Structure 1
């Protein structure tokens, strides 16, 4: 009887800890419930063994729900020459100009620039090149709240910035040009989360999110 009481107490503590954690699964590991493809395409992303993978000739994949301030954690794996991305606060109808992208790329061993893994695409290079070799799983944690953005890859901080520093269209704070016709500080602070299909195989798993 004492053992049962102790077990129940442990289970209750475990449940409480889980609730206090606040994270929910963004990808259930079984199917694409809660997601949609844009542009519409008969081919869809595939789910196998709890992993989300790009299907040949599929389109970008987006959450049905919009998110503003959040913490997202996930794992990803790249293929040779992979070029993909994690979009957030983005308009699926206009992902190139209507949102933000953390670059996901096969850039192991490179001196990173504004287009390598961990970059805020075309706006800020990662502080370190933290991506692992092709075929190895990487962890990513993205935190956004208001203008503040912090991103870690494999436990290393690759971004720590304020979007409010991007005050001019087509120009970065360091004076270099970028593609954005709207200054990043003026971009919407709410939008969809998505994964880029750029013609290369890429895998994602254990995707979870906590609203802030």
Structure 2
């Protein structure tokens, strides 16, 4: 009986591997009504920064970045096409966070920074990494990806702009922290319609609707570069040690 059981193990292993492969292949399929922006093989449909040096690349079926683009200009990875109203789905993960950010703010629900009894802003030293999804062709309009306690999905440049109204500042601040632990995959669903941006992270709505008066009508998407090293090879800012996969878009009419 034992010998028969042992003989079946290779076949069972093959069956399990086949099922796992089938599940992975299903994950490559665009949801109904969406089209894929990434073929899992190369960066067709995306504009690699000129002089990048191979730092934006595809590794084992995902877009991989090491935050070390050699481009003399913009180092972010931009889509070839521009989009107006859309729903974007994308899986992302931060591979590691080797930089200690000594100045991460304690952000309140209204988007302002908490202060101590002396009126000094509270700052937290924490491991940090940083990327994001640029919307409609401008890095000012982005859903952040990082390690901050406020959580990813925040629209940092909108929240921190002195000209932003209190209502918009609160709307651009995540209502909850929905990130998975560092190194695990997360899922964004970003809806841009008219002047309004909504962001869901791992099935939780974090930006219910930030209506931005100067949001352009159309523009390209981008995955953000962030971070650099000093002469000694140490990071001087939180780097974009990030990966992306399962990138799908549905244009809205």
**Fold conserved between structures, TM > 0.5:** yes
Q: How many residues align?
A: 163
Aligned residue number for residue 156 of structure 2 = 121
d(CA) in 2 for partners of 1:43, 1:27: 17
Q: Deviations over 1:134-167 (max 9, x none)?
A: 111111100111122211001000002242xxxx
Q: Deviations over 1:114-146 (max 9, x none)?
A: xx5110123221110101111111111001111
Relative to the length of structure 1, the TM-score reads 0.71
d(CA) in 2 for partners of 1:141, 1:210: 11
Map residues 60-71 of structure 1 onto 2, 5 A cutoff: 60-71=76-87
CA displacement at 1:38 relative to structure 2: 3.7
d(CA) in 2 for partners of 1:20, 1:139: 14
Map residues 73-84 of structure 1 onto 2, 5 A cutoff: 73-78=89-94, 79-80=96-97, 81-84=128-131
> Does residue 1:203 correspond to 2:243, yes or no?
yes
**Structure having the higher Rg:** 2
> Does residue 1:140 correspond to 2:151, yes or no?
no
Cα contact 1:138–1:154 (8 A) shared by 2: yes
d(CA) in 2 for partners of 1:56, 1:43: 11
Q: Runs of 4+ in structure 1 displaced over 2 angstroms?
A: 37-44
CA displacement at 1:56 relative to structure 2: 4.2
Cα contact 1:24–1:208 (8 A) shared by 2: yes
d(CA) in 1 for partners of 2:216, 2:203: 28
Among 184, 204, 227, which residue is 1:156 paired with? 204
Structure 2 unaligned residues grouped into runs of 5+:
1-28, 70-74, 98-127, 160-171, 228-238
Structure 1 unaligned residues grouped into runs of 5+:
1-17, 164-183
CA displacement at 1:46 relative to structure 2: 1.3
d(CA) in 1 for partners of 2:31, 2:174: 31
Cα contact 2:91–2:245 (8 A) shared by 1: yes
CA displacement at 1:50 relative to structure 2: 1.3
Relative to the length of structure 2, the TM-score reads 0.60
CA displacement at 1:20 relative to structure 2: 8.7
> Does residue 1:106 correspond to 2:147, yes or no?
yes
SS in 1 for 2:213: helix
CA displacement at 1:51 relative to structure 2: 0.8
Cα contact 2:30–2:248 (8 A) shared by 1: no
Among 57, 65, 83, which residue is 1:54 paired with? 65
Among 207, 217, 220, which residue is 1:189 paired with? 217
